Chain A
Amino acid sequence: MSTATLAPEGLARRVSPGTGVRNVLTLAWRNLVQIKHNPMELLDLSIQPIMFVLLFAYVFGPAMEGSVQAYLPVVIPGIIAQNALFAGMSTGFGLNTDITKGVFDRFRSLPIARSAPLAGRILADTVKQAWSMMILLLVGFAIGFRLETNVVALLSAFLLLLSFAVLFSWTSVYIAMVVNEPEKVQIFGFTVIFPLSFLSTAFIKSTDGIPGPVAWVMDNSPVTHLVEAMRGLLVGGPVLEHAWIALAWGLGISLVFAPLSLHAFKKRA
């Protein structure tokens, strides 16, 4: 018995970049095709945003800005931002499901790029995010929201939101690594993201009249900067001075949580 029959020469030592990209696309396909068998998820991605827009606009609009119409430029960018934060938790939820069900082990035993299972999931979640944002805008347009800028600004808004979402989703990746069941990712996400999105200007025009310390927190929240930049891009106003702070926050968050996640994963395995 020689080594050659057992271990044929010509086995690649590592994954080529081209193969890595293909692995990511295949795994992204896998995460998107799941929707076909789980229509509830499509509902989640579509109905929920629609409901939020309608409820906020018609219930709070008149009280907040005097009319539904006047509130739309405030609330649509806000809901888009909040939705992105919540949707980011689904990355962690799916990841934790894969880990606890053994699917992740199967992937990691295959000769594929090490980062592909995570990258594929993030790519798929980004597509889902874009879908949700589109639905939110379409509903907004249907009830009277107007794009006050241009198409380039609109595309930039998508780009900004998706970039922030990807960076922010590292928090949910980290949670996925340390909890032992997917539901806990959701619970954690809920308890953090609710206050995080409400302690911002996502649903209000300004923090005038809010007690000092609370207003300070709200004014300096990364969510506020994200929302303000989104407003600038969709209905006009300052963009860059907010966008860069939001992205810097995102970068900082990912720089902290990516290594933490990796460390937690190694410890867990």
Chain B
Amino acid sequence: MTYAIQAEGLVKRFGATEALAGVSLTAEPGTVLGILGPNGAGKTTTTRILATLIEPTEGSARVGGFDVHKDAHRVRQLIGLTGQYAGVDEMLTGTENLILIGRLLGMSRRDSRARAAELLDRFELTEAAERAAKTYSGGMRRRLDLAASLIGRPQILFLDEPTTGLDPRSRGGLWDIVRGLTDDGVTVLLTTQYLEEADQLADDIVVIDRGQVIAHGTSDTLKSQVGGQILEVRPLRAAEVGNAAAIVGELAGSEPELRDGLIAAPITDPALMPAVVRRLDDAGIAVGELSLRKSSLDEVFFALTGHHTDDIDAEADELAAAAKQEART
């Protein structure tokens, strides 16, 4: 089995900052590899190394079977990249942006124009095709950026937080596109801060934190490790919290968390919910509140690392977010 993407022990230092501290990962051809991690985890740095934009300080990586450093030019003929910050020329129209990429890839004027029209249509940008990209909304820009990375029909596609800042409808649309690509055999590496997104799209998920892989596996194996969903129960009478917690704990198979009368337990099987309701009812416990919700990225991290994402360095994250905001405008 040859991997479409294979990284081994990637270390990247920027001066004193260690952005990556030994990241290894693999992706099989035609699958989606999700890289899940909070701000500053090293998602972008990993993507940039794999897309031949920067060299790792240590370690090596192969994309499409070629070394990203020694055989960078060959790798570039196989990949498409949609970076975290839309790489479109704001002064050019949507059509011109795409024709530019087509021409750079060696396509004829006619072919690049045709391919541009085809992709603009597919991404619902036909109406805005002849407008300068600076007039586009954030979501339109992202779609144009994605279209640009598909011009050359890449075998391997890197998407760095492709849905950050998109509304739910656009997000769903992008998910459909990614699924369509893998149906065509494209390998996709996608970074995200959303557990749900990785869950929806990725065949394999690598969770990184502070430049290190802290977990990897399929969505299901990760969920069984951390609980895919959180069942929350609040008994009407405070006195019954103890009994209720025992029942929930027994069914969920793990010790529930108690917070001001609210019982929360990670569960992997949603079918557990009716069972919990029945058992509580049998025990004569009146339930004031009962819900099932997806566990947040923070809960996944807490389960995996024992620390919450926001106590990593809340301040640094805020600064990074502010800087990012600035860079965007």
Contact = CB atoms under 8 A, between A and B. Distances in A.
B87 interface: yes
A37 B91 contact: yes
Nearest to B154: A109
A101 B88 CA distance: 8
A138 interface: no
A147 B65 CA distance: 63
B96 A33 contact: yes
B274 interface: no
B101 interface: yes
Counting contact residues on chain B (CB < 8 A from A), the size range is: 35 or more
A263 interface: no
A102 B87 contact: yes
B220 to A, nearest CB: 23
A27 interface: yes
B29 A6 contact: yes
Contact of B87 (A2, A19, A101): A101
Nearest to B91: A34
A121 to B, nearest CB: 12
Contact of A102 (B79, B84, B93, B103): B84
A12 B89 contact: no
A38 B81 contact: no
B64 interface: yes
A109 B79 contact: yes
Interface string B161-179: 0000000000000000000
B92 to A, nearest CB: 7
B298 interface: no
B29 A7 contact: no
B74 A105 contact: no
B54 interface: yes
Contacts of A110: 76, 101, 104-105, 152
B327 A100 contact: yes
Given A11-B77, A12-B77, A6 B2 contact: yes
Contact of A109 (B29, B53, B91): B53
B86 A102 contact: yes
A96 to B, nearest CB: 12
A34 B64 contact: no
A75 B105 CA distance: 46
B297 interface: no
Given A102-B84, A105-B83, A27 B104 contact: yes
B54 A109 contact: no
Interface in B10-51: 28-29, 48, 51
A12 B72 CA distance: 11
A15 B29 CA distance: 26
Given A7-B78, A12-B77, A103 B91 contact: no
B226 interface: no
Nearest to B327: A100
A72 to B, nearest CB: 36
Nearest to A180: B327
Interface string A83-111: 00000000000000000111111111111
A187 B40 CA distance: 31
12 contacts: A3-B65, A7-B74, A12-B73, A23-B104, A103-B88, A105-B53, A106-B83, A106-B145, A110-B101, A111-B76, A112-B104, A180-B327
Rank and list the top 9 A-B pairs by shortest CB-CB distance, nearest first. Answer: A106-B87, A102-B85, A7-B65, A102-B87, A34-B91, A111-B76, A109-B81, A37-B132, A11-B74
Interface of B: 1-2, 4, 28-29, 48, 51-54, 64-66, 71, 73-74, 76-81, 83-93, 96, 100-101, 103-106, 132, 134, 145, 148-149, 152, 155, 327
